[in-house]
């Protein structure tokens, strides 16, 4: 029996000396205190505070022991602050606007993705047309060269034929030989 009491007392002492460092938002939720009160006590050096970077954000943490000494814990079921009706209406409006913004963003992202697909498709089609145009130009140059050769060959053949097919003129006799 005495060993159980000793264990319980040592556990209570270790928990009493144990200090947890909690953020200001967490302290607001768990203790009956506002953010302004916490900041005022930190400035007055009544609370010890630690500043740390967490995912690029500056987080200010306060000692749970000092909070427990000065403020009471909120009951277990009341961690969430109660919202007034005008705040809940405004909150619903902000949520609806956020949802609309998310939907429009998703729609725009979809349009962007489809426009990128169309752009890639058009680029492939343009590349194919440019390749075909280049091949057509090469064929046109080849045909032009062949036509030029054919025209030269035809011209030289025409000259050769003209030289061969000329009817020979009858030789003329000199005029003095006509009477004689």
Q: Is the dihedral of CA 99, 102, 106, 107 positive or negative?
A: positive
The C-alpha atoms of residue 111 and residue 119 are separated, in whole angstroms, by 12
Q: Are residues 11 and 65 in the same domain?
A: yes
- Please indicate, yes or no, if residue 161 is contained in any of the structural domains: no
Q: Is pLDDT at 142 greater than 80 in this prediction?
A: yes
The C-alpha atoms of residue 34 and residue 101 are separated, in whole angstroms, by 32
Cβ-contact 30, 73 below 8 angstroms: yes
Which residues lie closer than 8 Å to 42 by C-beta, 6 or more apart?
49, 60, 62
- Tell me what the mean pLDDT of segment 91-113 comes to: 90
- Tell me what the mean pLDDT of segment 51-80 comes to: 69
Cβ-contact 123, 115 below 8 angstroms: no
Q: Which domain holds residue 63?
A: 2-80
Q: Is pLDDT at 7 greater than 60 in this prediction?
A: no
Q: Are residues 51 and 22 in the same domain?
A: yes
pTM: 0.34
pLDDT-derived band at 9 (thresholds 50, 70, 90) equals low
- Please indicate, yes or no, if residue 102 is contained in any of the structural domains: yes
- How distant is the alpha carbon of residue 132 from its chain centre? 34
Task: Tally the domains of the chain.
Answer: 2
């Amino acid at each position: 029996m005495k060993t159980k009491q000793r264990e319980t007392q040592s556990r209570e002492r270790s928990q009493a000396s144990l200090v947890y460092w909690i953020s200001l938002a967490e302290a607001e939720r768990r203790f009956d205190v506002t953010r302004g009160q916490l900041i005022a006590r930190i400035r007055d050096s009544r609370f010890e505070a630690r500043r740390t970077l967490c995912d690029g954000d500056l987080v200010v943490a306060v000692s749970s022991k000092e909070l427990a000494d000065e403020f009471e814990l909120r009951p277990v079921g009341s961690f969430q602050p109660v919202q007034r009706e005008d705040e809940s209406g405004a909150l619903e409006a902000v949520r609806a606007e956020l949802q609309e913004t998310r939907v429009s963003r998703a729609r725009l992202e979809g349009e962007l993705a489809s426009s990128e697909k169309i752009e890639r498709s058009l680029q492939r089609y343009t590349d194919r047309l440019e390749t075909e145009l280049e091949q057509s130009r090469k064929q046109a140059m080849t045909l032009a060269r062949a036509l030029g050769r054919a025209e030269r060959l035809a011209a030289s053949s025409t000259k050769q034929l003209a030289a061969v097919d000329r009817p020979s003129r009858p030789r003329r006799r000199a005029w003095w030989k006509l009477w004689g």
